[in-house]
Chain A
Amino acid sequence: MKRSFILLCTFSLLSLNVLKATDALPEYTLKAAYLYNFALLTNWPNEANEDEFRICFYKQDLGIASDQLNDKKIHNRNVKVYTIKNDKEFKECNMVYVREEEVVGASELIATLKELPILIVSENLKNLHEHITILDQERRLAFDVSLDAMKETKLSVSSHLLKLARSIKQ
């Protein structure tokens, strides 16, 4: 009797912990959701010609969170997620994401893509040609938008996105 009571208490505590873990979204999932929303609020030129929306991760993806983006719809196109290591393949992408760990190696790649209609999103990076930077700020995410870098790419972003940005570089 005593035993079962202890078991029940342990189980209850465990289940409480599980609930807590699902309460706040994990960082990767949140970042994946950000990527999806950036894509939603950005307009690409010649969108109608393609039926696939390619989100490419530079060398490292967001694990299971990036897989969850697969088969979602952006501008009526099915999302396909790719993790790419070869620089040349990035030209086929609609969106490129560079994680903080890969930022140093990616600077060259970002420079080659700067005039193409590819939305470049990076983590905690400055003074490169990325269009949107996701920042970790006191346990919550924020983002900066660089309209300056976007100028020659023919990409345009919605005012909704600009309104939510922490800072905008003109």
Chain B
Amino acid sequence: MILLKQRFKNYPIQTKITYSNLFVLIFAFLPLIIIMVLYEYFALQSALIKENRILSEVVSQSVAAPMAFRDELATNDTLLALKGIKDLLEVHLVFENGEVFKNYYRYAEDKTNETKMYKILKYDNEEVFLDTIKIEKSIFLRSEYQGSVVLVLSLDSFYNRLAWYIFIILATASFAFLIAIFVTKYISKSITEPLSKLTEATQKMIHNQDYKMDISGIKNSTDEVGTLSSAFVTMLSQIHERDLSLQQLAYYDRVTSIANRHYFEEKIVQTVENARRYGTSCYLLMIDLDDFKIVNDTIGHHVGDLLLRFVGQSIQAVMRQNDSVFRIGGDEFAILIESKSPQEAVDKIAKKIIEAISMPITLDGHQVQIGASIGISCFPKLSHDVQSLMSTADAAMYIAKRKGKNSYERYSE
């Protein structure tokens, strides 16, 4: 049993369900078949005895008078009529004193055992042996006991019928078993199919590391598998949301909600690579806020944060959809422009940004005005890689800052 359990442990659920159903079926069928065969055995035997009891009655009636008169001719006529009964092997007509009046043998070879005396019980009796049945019937002529007739019958037909019965029972059981295999396979498949699909989807997810995968097609039932599927879907969407918020934390600035330095460093590599591959150009605008430190120190961090948010929004307002804005330091911002746009268009953007930032605004009841210095560099025109693009833009920004507030400078060698 333990070995069986061990063996079954690693099978798929569908196989387990199929096998368990078949085992149940076998355990239900087996006693049924045994009982049916036993019942048939005893019923057939009882019918056989009944049938041959009637035969012995008929024989005893018809041989009574010939036997009383020791009329062998008339007796032979009666016995000859018994030739038609296939299973009748021997008939012995025996007088009361045990003397044999007449013997009948179906097969000549049995005649060798013929005796003149035969032991009779003198009462009606049936004995069943392994291959024969022996029936003794008393012979009466007008209620006077004359002797007994002993019939010996073969059980060949009986066993033949029993064998056919067992064959039919087994054939029917095998047929039912085959149908049961198909049905149980079909049922277990319908039960386990959603589970297999779910397993498959999970494995795919692990392989692709994509927790956004849609498996809603599996949850089509309200049973445990359906519930498990929908719970799985919910769990996946929760994982996806958590991923998003982690991404937000990793790549976006909490104060301004725009992309942070980490994102900027990845993005600039991609942008330069793209420009190099497709033969286009890109611009990097480094923005440093003038006087932000004063606002932050004198009015407070609270207003400083509000001011940073305002700056972020102002820059985004003048940018195009494809351009990216980053907060890369305390009061430093960066803009990446992927474009074949002429230099003038970029200058125009820088001007617009300075205009937007340098506007005086009221934040939390405080009148605030700051400025911005912007350094501009270009790849591949003014730099040859990411590092040089960043350092040239930085250098240009410092030049602009030295020139005075609210100005922009393009890098030049």
Enumerate chain A interface residues (CB-CB to B < 8 A). 23, 25, 30, 33-34, 37, 40-41, 73, 75, 141, 143, 158, 160-161, 163-164
Contact = CB atoms under 8 A, between A and B. Distances in A.
Contacts, number: 35
Contacts of B74: 163-164
Nearest to A23: B116
Contacts of A33: 68-70
Contacts of A163: 65, 74
B142 interface: yes
Contacts of A164: 65-66, 69, 71, 74
Given A40-B141, A40-B144, A41-B141, A25 B65 contact: no
A50 to B, nearest CB: 17
18 contacts: A30-B70, A33-B69, A34-B69, A37-B68, A37-B69, A37-B141, A40-B68, A40-B141, A40-B142, A41-B141, A41-B142, A73-B144, A141-B69, A143-B69, A158-B65, A161-B65, A163-B65, A164-B69
Nearest to A72: B144
Nearest to B61: A160
Contact of A25 (B68, B70, B116, B141): B70
Chief secondary structure at chain B's binding surface = mixed
Given A33-B70, A40-B141, A164-B66, 6 more contacts: A23-B116, A37-B65, A41-B141, A75-B142, A141-B69, A163-B74
Contacts of A143: 69
Nearest to A161: B65
Interface of B: 64-66, 68-71, 74, 116, 141-142, 144
Chief secondary structure at chain A's binding surface = helix
B245 to A, nearest CB: 116
A37 B64 CA distance: 10
A155 to B, nearest CB: 15
B286 to A, nearest CB: 141
A34 B69 CA distance: 6
Nearest to B74: A164
A118 B409 CA distance: 168
A16 B69 CA distance: 27
Contact of A41 (B65, B70, B116): B65
Contacts of A41: 65, 141-142
A161 B74 CA distance: 11
A33 B65 CA distance: 12
Nearest to B66: A164
Contacts of A158: 65, 142
Contacts of A37: 65, 68-69, 141
B180 to A, nearest CB: 63
B371 to A, nearest CB: 150
